């Protein structure tokens, strides 16, 4: 169950982890963010003049990049001022995910001792064995398909958005964690995006959702697919994908995920240099959970499950149970986590 009391201590811990000497304004990140917003405005405004076969893939990629930039913002970039960072990241270009929900859940995910836990890790794809056993056969089959890379890309984008929104609706009705205020703020920001698309661009909303939002989220599913795996030792639960020169920049090099979990405060443009320095230590630390490229991930798991769905340990050891059924847990898709 969502626990808002976790937010403040997690945020304080996160701030403490990223304290280091860095520029008050990280110009590469700020420039990329402003460029992303500008490109989104230009390309969406070309609807009706450019082919949809050009606009849809371009906007899908921009939505994935925007999510990666929101992830950077959650970790304290690109400025030292949290209020300004939040303002820079609030625009809901993908419509379905409130920035504040993403922020809270992702900070919970960064409690590395709880990684992969079916209840405590808000980005876990594992299920508690008893909840898995209680599912209907059709639900288990659909989830099993999504534990292949092909299924995660083709089905997972739609599935995760629908499940997330259903759980959010329940939380809004109960007003868990001040959810009504969070969603009201989000919907007000959505008005600007929808007015731009409908009034200025004359783009039907269903085309934006089907041809751009869902594919953009599917791209992000590639990153999150194999980035965590259940192991007793916390240090072995986070993977590395090397030589991701195509998707790595789009994910702001979060493919070096073990490095990110160790040092979430370093900016994206320093990841590769830091990884070259610490590569041997990181690989030894995560038990060799390394993929050469995302093509390597696809070769292994395109039509084969990444892991079992019921958590192999049931729960990550020494946990406080926070819910009695998976359906009561508010889970955000990885993004983007």
| pLDDT digit string, tens, across residues 32-91 | 999 999 999 999 999 999 999 999 999 999 999 999 999 999 999 999 999 999 999 999
Summarize the confidence of residues 217-240 as an average pLDDT: 96
Q: Is the pLDDT of residue 222 over 60?
A: yes
pLDDT of residue 100: 96
Whole-number Cα distances in Å, 30 to 21, 60, 85, 189: 18, 21, 10, 20
pLDDT of residue 316: 83
Q: What is the pLDDT of residues 284-302, one digit of tens each?
A: 999 999 999 999 999 999 9
pLDDT of residue 329: 34
pLDDT of residue 21: 60
Residue 213 contacts residue 165 (beta carbons within 8 Å): no
Q: What is the pLDDT of residues 83-99, one digit of tens each?
A: 999 999 999 999 999 99
127, β-bridge pairs:
310
Q: Is the pLDDT of residue 18 over 50?
A: no
Q: What is the pLDDT of residues 128-180, one digit of tens each?
A: 999 999 999 999 999 999 999 999 999 999 999 999 999 999 999 999 989 99
Task: Choose among 127, 93, 90, 120: nearest CA to 105.
Answer: 120
pLDDT above 70 covers what percent of the chain? 88
Q: What is the pLDDT of residues 322-336, one digit of tens each?
A: 443 333 333 333 333
């Amino acid at each position: 169950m969502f626990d808002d009391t976790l937010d403040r201590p997690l945020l304080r811990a996160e701030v403490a982890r990223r304290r280091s000497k860095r520029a008050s304004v990280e110009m590469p990140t700020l420039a990329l963010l402003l460029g992303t917003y500008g490109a989104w405005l230009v390309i969406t405004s070309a609807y009706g003049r450019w082919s949809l076969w050009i606009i849809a893939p371009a906007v899908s990629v921009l939505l994935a990049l925007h999510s990666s930039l929101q992830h950077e913002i959650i970790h304290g970039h690109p400025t030292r001022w949290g209020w300004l960072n939040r303002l820079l990241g609030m625009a809901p270009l993908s419509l379905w995910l409130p920035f504040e929900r993403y922020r809270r859940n992702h900070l919970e995910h960064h409690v590395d001792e709880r990684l992969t836990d079916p209840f405590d890790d808000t980005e876990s794809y594992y299920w508690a064995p008893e909840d898995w056993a209680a599912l209907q056969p059709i639900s288990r089959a659909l989830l099993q398909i999504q534990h292949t890379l092909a299924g995660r890309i083709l089905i997972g984008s739609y599935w995760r958005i629908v499940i997330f929104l259903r759980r959010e609706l329940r939380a809004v009705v109960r007003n868990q964690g001040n959810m009504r205020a969070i969603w009201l703020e989000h919907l007000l920001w959505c008005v600007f995006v929808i007015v731009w698309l409908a009034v200025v661009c004359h783009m039907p909303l269903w085309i934006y959702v089907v041809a751009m939002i869902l594919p953009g989220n599917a791209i992000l599913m590639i990153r999150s697919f194999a980035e965590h795996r259940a192991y007793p030792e916390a240090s072995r639960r986070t993977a590395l994908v090397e030589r991701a020169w195509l998707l790595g920049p789009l994910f702001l090099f979060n493919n070096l995920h073990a490095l990110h979990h160790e040092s979430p405060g370093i900016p994206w443009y320093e990841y590769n240099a830091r990884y070259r320095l610490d590569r041997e230590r990181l690989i030894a630390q995560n038990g060799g959970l390394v993929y050469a490229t995302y093509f390597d991930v696809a070769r292994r798991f395109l039509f084969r499950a990444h892991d079992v769905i019921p958590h192999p340990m049931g729960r990550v050891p020494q946990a406080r149970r926070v819910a009695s059924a998976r359906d009561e847990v508010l889970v955000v898709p990885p993004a983007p986590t």
